[in-house]
Amino acid sequence: MWAPDDEDQTVRQYRFLLRTAPLDALEAGHVEALEPMWRSRRSVVLRAVQEGLVAGARLDPDDVRRLAHLIVLGERRRPGDFLAACPRAVLTPLAGAVILSEAMFGRFGGYAAWDGAEPDLKDETEWADGGFGEHWHDVLTSHVSYRTATGGPSSPDAAFGGV
């Protein structure tokens, strides 16, 4: 479970992305991170998926896309299970590679407001939103509203003859 005092900054940023980034972008970032990884390290990641998420029994370490899919969905449904099962020696480089992947570019909006706590999963029979009901997620979904000099809403299209 989450322990703020001994958490590596890379793993914290990775957890944030796992909780907030779109699933397709997360999968792409994991594929980008897992493909160049040594097969022996991917085997450790696969074991962590199998033990922590109880999934992927028929996967091979070379099934990178399916492995990425299981990590992303598993962590979204049961936050922390994969992270707890994956040894730090493999988790930290995986987290760093996902953070630096092209798919994760620009995905840290709201990170400064995030308290780092995992979402509460109250009832295992209900679908978990993976933390999207948390207050820090509001920053990610807020929109900028522009006003004219008179205080009314402004439309960027109006300046160009639009409606």
- What are 99-150's pLDDT values in tens digits? 999 999 999 888 888 888 877 765 554 444 555 555 555 545 554 555 656 6
- What are 27-85's pLDDT values in tens digits? 999 999 999 999 999 999 999 999 999 999 999 999 999 999 999 999 999 999 999 99
- What are 136-153's pLDDT values in tens digits? 555 455 545 556 566 665
Give me the chain's average pLDDT, please: 81
Q: Which of 57, 54, 45 is nearest to 86 (CA)?
A: 45
User: 149: burial class by Cβ within 10 Å (0-12, 13-18, 19+)?
Assistant: exposed
Which pLDDT score is estimated for 123?
52
Whether pTM exceeds 0.85 = no
Whether 86 and 52 have beta carbons less than 8 Å apart is answered as: yes
What span, in angstroms and rounded, lies between the C-alpha atoms of 97 and 102? 10
Q: In which element (H, E) is residue 66 found? A: helix 64-77
